[in-house]
Structure 1
């Protein structure tokens, strides 16, 4: 196997102790990055009116952001190794904050798009490098506690984004969507200087230029293809972009398996618990990522609810996410990763089926309770996958595992929205639910429930004690 070009810089150095404050700081920066990925949706009509452009044209600002985040992740791992993770993390916060100010000051669509691209580059470094900082300083016995901090931004941001964006746009202006990042970014930068330990980078670290180029182009083309599929499914460019992305990623994999200094050590996939993240975990995140997209649309287009009414109901998912958090770690320690992953996927599939049965006449307390349960099961699955993927990873492979995971997360999130949009159009075209405005959404939820079972099947093949070093600390101490 080729030698890795991403040896953990803490390998052979002093072992850090678990720092909840550092994990909380990193989680806060994650929340900023994840929220800005989708919060702009509710402000698109206002931005279009200010810039005097069609609303559809403003979508390029969201696409530019998501593309830059996805394409910047592969490089961020090498930057952290070469120049030191602390320096790159602080730089990422600074770029993200400065770009947010530039976004708020933009006078036309071109300026806003360029500023969003810079913001995305900061986010691309902020998330994976922040995760790496926490993982390096956390013993496996405390990994569940650490990932509990890191998981919540990805759970809450997609749910809260419509509410936050709508409130800021309605009561202030769309500029405040970006201005709110300024005090948060400054506070995060100061906290990072105080909390993140300084470690020198490896100035002899070589960059796998061909591997980086192929991976960046491939991931970018895949995300662009998925974005095009959701917006323009009949256009040929979507399939061409996605096809080019698949070919480029395949070439990157072949190259990295043969070269002496690969961008990523693909040997991480030989670890079964990490591979679970790329198989069943990918299916799980794809289906779960479709929910914040499908639910508001069904409530508004299918039930005739107002955006505020729909957003308030979807907030029930947020309550479920938060409510189950104190019990997530004890549940995983008690029953193990395999049992909780199977349970979370099956329970989530069941909530999808029940969502397909909702109508405008369903008592709202019942709908609210269903979405609270959906949020709880979602949180359990996210937490379990976030922890089990690193349970058996060697320290020397940690950077590669982290960067591969971050890249797959971006792809799964984009795929969730794209697949959801395709399913809506498919069932609408088939006229499977005549005289039912919510019919296409019902079909989409049922299809997502079936897809979720792929995650269940994959989890069933995990060893009974998968990730036991992380999940059953007390049992191992006996």
Structure 2
């Protein structure tokens, strides 16, 4: 939620800091870049110092970053504070997932992942309306101050309830891999963010994107010849893990684009206020929460392959439905379409996040977790960049200002891209992940 909560508050923050909302979008980018740089090292940190200790320290860093955001008095200090927040967030999410995987019996992992996926679904949708509400009725500073007591409680609960079960691994840090992966992920995320949200001239975004791609290629070459690389790419030799990451990344292109396109369409095409559009888009979060209660039984009944392939089609179809919305469309139809889309995306996220660990041994989970987290961040950033590029090209070709038809085109294209995940999931073995879903394997 914190990566999106300031989006509707940018004008107020910019006015207070004496800068422009366009320039302040660097704070959004700084947060994402910090995530991209430090997520790859989270697995090594968990092995070296213990997942519980790193998790609590990550919350503390996030709290300090939040407080620094609240007291910032310039664009520079605010961007730096957001980057510090991102550093804490980079450790929190993958290490938190790693703790769940290590502490949960395999036959209960689907249910655990279902609950763990709820914040990932609700956060991007809840951030803008909550940020708008706080900024409207209080001041933008409270967006960050409220994190302080919540973070302190989080540190206390983690210390009280999370067991110390780690066998620490004193593995030497792959500094070359850290530098290359950091440059690669940061370059890609920063470049795509700047291109789609023009806070800087386009050539800056294209240049950093090129640097990111080159660094990523160099990291792949480096990892192939190192005994203990920072991110162990040999995990992709496992078909189930590979399908989970690749198929999930293709699908997330749409998930990254929809929160960008939908509120903008409601405001530009429908004339709604930011708060009204935020409340409409939040409908899909209701569907996401609802599906969590039926995820385990559905995977047990139909298996991962069939469930994920079906959800990919349903979710792509729901994205396409957004392309038919007009100001005259009854709200109850919009509610139902967004609700169905939330259900499909929720089930697919739960399945993908669980399936990725089906055939990964316990001593490799600290390697698998940052890989999946990096793939998630990059695919979401690409999704936003694709959506922004579609709107730009559509308005340019048709020679008019941004209007409703441009959003319709964007949703149709994004739906096709997301639907391609079906072909990745359908090639799975029908029994893939049966030890996690509880579904009895076929008799051979």
Task: Output the TM-score relative to the length of structure 1.
Answer: 0.89
Aligned to 2:425: 459
1:331 to 298, 318, 330: 298
Q: What is the deviation of 1:475?
A: 6.8
Q: Which moved more, 1:184-193 or 1:346-355?
A: 346-355
Query: Tell me, what secondary structure is at the counterpart of 2:173?
Result: coil
Aligned to 1:183: 149
Q: Name the CA distance, whole Å, in 2 between partners of 1:107 and 1:229.
A: 27
Q: Name the CA distance, whole Å, in 2 between partners of 1:349 and 1:88.
A: 37
Aligned to 1:9: none
Q: Name the CA distance, whole Å, in 1 between partners of 2:74 and 2:318.
A: 43
Contact 2:47 2:170 in 1 (8 A): no
Contact 1:155 1:379 in 2 (8 A): yes
Contact 2:189 2:378 in 1 (8 A): yes
Q: Name the CA distance, whole Å, in 1 between partners of 2:226 and 2:353.
A: 29
1:419 to 386, 391, 395: 386
Q: What is the deviation of 1:222?
A: 0.6
Query: Tell me, what secondary structure is at the counterpart of 1:393?
Result: coil
2:185 to 202, 215, 219: 219
Q: For each residue in 1:64-111, what CA deviation from the matched residue of structure 2 results, as whole angstroms up to 9, or x when unmatched? A: 111101111112211111111121111111111122112112222222
Aligned to 2:223: 256
Query: Tell me, what secondary structure is at the counterpart of 1:39?
Result: coil
Q: Name the CA distance, whole Å, in 2 between partners of 1:143 and 1:84.
A: 21
Q: In structure 1, list runs of 5 or more residues that go unmatched.
A: 1-34
Q: Which moved more, 1:155-164 or 1:79-88?
A: 79-88
Q: What is the deviation of 1:236?
A: 2.3
Q: For each residue in 1:300-325, what CA deviation from the matched residue of structure 2 results, as whole angstroms up to 9, or x when unmatched? A: 11122222221121111111112222
Q: Name the CA distance, whole Å, in 2 between partners of 1:147 and 1:368.
A: 26
Q: What is the deviation of 1:446?
A: 0.4
Aligned to 1:58: 24
Q: Name the CA distance, whole Å, in 1 between partners of 2:16 and 2:138.
A: 14
Query: Tell me, what secondary structure is at the counterpart of 1:279?
Result: helix
Quick check: 1:407 aligned with 2:367?
A: no
Contact 1:428 1:439 in 2 (8 A): no
Contact 1:427 1:440 in 2 (8 A): yes
Aligned to 1:148: 114
CA 306–36 in structure 1, closer or farther in 2 if over 3 Å, else same: same
Contact 2:253 2:417 in 1 (8 A): no
Query: Tell me, what secondary structure is at the counterpart of 2:5?
Result: helix
Q: Name the CA distance, whole Å, in 1 between partners of 2:330 and 2:49.
A: 56
Query: Tell me, what secondary structure is at the counterpart of 2:207?
Result: helix
Q: What is the deviation of 1:240?
A: 2.2
Quick check: 1:121 aligned with 2:87?
A: yes
Q: For each residue in 1:255-288, what CA deviation from the matched residue of structure 2 results, as whole angstroms up to 9, or x when unmatched? A: 1111122112222111111111222110101111
1:99 to 65, 79, 92: 65
Quick check: 1:82 aligned with 2:84?
A: no
Quick check: 1:290 aligned with 2:261?
A: no
Aligned to 1:26: none
Q: For each residue in 1:191-211, what CA deviation from the matched residue of structure 2 results, as whole angstroms up to 9, or x when unmatched? A: 111122225664632111111
Query: Tell me, what secondary structure is at the counterpart of 1:223?
Result: helix
Contact 1:391 1:469 in 2 (8 A): yes
Equivalences for residues 360-375 of structure 1 within 5 A: 360-375=327-342
Q: Name the CA distance, whole Å, in 2 between partners of 1:445 and 1:57.
A: 28
Count of matched residue positions in the alignment of Structure 1 and Structure 2: 441
Q: Which moved more, 1:435-444 or 1:147-156?
A: 435-444
Q: What is the deviation of 1:474?
A: 6.4
Equivalences for residues 270-349 of structure 1 within 5 A: 270-349=237-316
Quick check: 1:40 aligned with 2:6?
A: yes
Q: Name the CA distance, whole Å, in 2 between partners of 1:262 and 1:474.
A: 36
Quick check: 1:162 aligned with 2:128?
A: yes
Query: Tell me, what secondary structure is at the counterpart of 1:326?
Result: coil
Q: Name the CA distance, whole Å, in 2 between partners of 1:263 and 1:40.
A: 32
1:358 to 325, 330, 333: 325
Equivalences for residues 225-264 of structure 1 within 5 A: 225-232=191-198, 235-264=202-231
Q: In structure 2, list runs of 5 or more residues that go unmatched.
A: none
Contact 1:85 1:201 in 2 (8 A): no
Q: Name the CA distance, whole Å, in 1 between partners of 2:146 and 2:124.
A: 17
Contact 1:96 1:119 in 2 (8 A): yes
Q: Name the CA distance, whole Å, in 1 between partners of 2:118 and 2:428.
A: 25
Query: Tell me, what secondary structure is at the counterpart of 1:53?
Result: coil
Q: Name the CA distance, whole Å, in 1 between partners of 2:128 and 2:247.
A: 28
Aligned to 2:36: 70
Query: Tell me, what secondary structure is at the counterpart of 2:19?
Result: coil
